Homo-oligomer: A and B are copies of this chain.
Amino acid sequence: MTGARTGRRAGDSGTRASILAAARDEFASHGYTGATIRAIAAAAAVDPALVHHYYGTKERLFAAAMELPVVPSEVLAAAIGSGKPGASLGTLLVRTALTIWQLPQAQATIAGLLRSAVTSERAAVMFREFLTDAILGTVGQAAGLDALGAGEAGFRAGLVASQMAGLALTRHVLVFPAVGAASVEDLAAAIGPTIDRYLTGEITDPERIGSKPP
C-alpha cells in the first residue's frame, strides 16, 4: 500500500490531472452536492485518501478543477474574521467578491462559468449548488440564516445570489460602463446594504401579511 502510494507520488502531476478530470466529470454529472470525493477517486482509479491528501476538502477540489483563483468560502471566512469594526457583512461580501473577480486569472473563469451555466442545465445545477453551499453557507452562517426555517433561509440566500450573480454579469460580461468602471468601494457602498437587507432585514410587505390580494 505504501509502495503503491510512493508509486503514485512519482507520477504526481499525472495523478493530479486524472483527479481533476474525474472531478470535472463528476461535478458535471452529479452536481456539486451529489458529487463525492469517493466517487471522484474511484473514477480516477486512486485511493480517496490521496484525493483528501492533495485537495483537503470538496470545495478545494472544486476550486482546483474549475481553476478558481481562490477557495471562495476560505477567503470569505477570512474577510469576515478580519473585518474592520463597523463594516457590515453585506459590504464585506461585495468587497471580497469584487476584489477576487478583479484578479487577472479570474476574468476568464467568471465568463466561462457563466457561459456554461447559461448554456448547460447540468452546469447550472453545479454552479447553483456550489454558490449555495460554499459561498452562501459561509455568509449565511455569519448572518444567522441557519437559525431560520429552510424556506426563509433559502429565499434570503437566493436574493443574495440574484444580486451577486447580476453584479458579476453586468460588471464583467455585459460590462455596463458605469458598473465596469466603478471602484470596489463605491460598489460595496451601493450594494452592501442590499445584501444586508436580504440577509437579515425586512423583506416582506407588512401590509400583505394575512391579506392576500384577491
Chain A 165-196, CB-CB to B under 8 Å as 1, else 0, gives 11101110111111100100110111101100
- Contact pick for A151, options B118, B171, B174, B178, CB 8 Å: B178
A117 within 8 A of B: yes
CA distance A90 to B14 in the complex (A): 54
Assess whether A176 is in contact with B158, with CB atoms less than 8 Å apart.
Answer: yes
Q: How often does this chain occur in the complex, in copies? A: 2
B132 close to A154 (CB less than 8 A): no
A170–B167 Cα distance when bound, in Å, is: 12
Choose one: B114, B178, B185; the contact of A118 (CB below 8 Å).
B114
Chain B minimum-CB-distance residue to A213: B185
Give the nearest-CB partner of A187 in chain B: B159
Q: Which of B114, B167, B177, B193 contacts A197 (CB 8 A)?
A: B193
Chain B proximity of A189: nearest CB distance (Å): 4
